[in-house]
Amino acid sequence: MENLPDNIDSKYRFIVLAAKRTAQLQNGAPLKIEYEEAKNHKYTTIAQKEAEEGLVKFRKIREERSEVDIAREAILGHDFIPDLEE
């Protein structure tokens, strides 16, 4: 990914956000994009598109971390909590 969406501050956060959203979709979460736009795509592609469009809400647990901390926490899956509400 060359350009991150405005609401996502690092590529690591984008990757983890899309991965967590993919898991939600696999578990039956409703789509946040139009069905026609998503019907021929895999959940990973849909999750990335939703994140790129700013449709997947999240909140940071901690502020002011280094890129190393962001990467470490992204790998461990603890850098944010996806918002499950519509």
DSSP 27: T
Q: What is the chain's alpha carbon radius of gyration, rounded to the nearest angstrom? A: 13
Domain membership of residue 55 (yes or no) is yes
Q: Report the domain count for the chain.
A: 1
Summarize the confidence of residues 16-35 as an average pLDDT: 91
Summarize the confidence of residues 56-71 as an average pLDDT: 72
pLDDT bin (cut points 50, 70, 90) of residue 8 is: confident
Q: What is the pTM of this model?
A: 0.65
Domain membership of residue 2 (yes or no) is no
Residue 27 lies in domain: 11-82
| 78 has a pLDDT exceeding 60 | no
Domain membership of residue 76 (yes or no) is yes
User: CA 27, 28, 30, 36 torsion: positive or negative?
Assistant: positive
pLDDT of residue 77: 62
Q: Which two tokens stand for residue 86?
A: 């519509």
Domain membership of residue 5 (yes or no) is no
Domain membership of residue 34 (yes or no) is yes
Domain membership of residue 4 (yes or no) is no
* Residues contacting residue 67 through CB under 8 Å, at least 6 positions apart: 10, 12
Minimum mean pLDDT range among 9-13, 34-38, 79-83: 79-83
Domain membership of residue 18 (yes or no) is yes
Domain membership of residue 3 (yes or no) is no
Quick check: helix, strand or coil at residue 8? coil
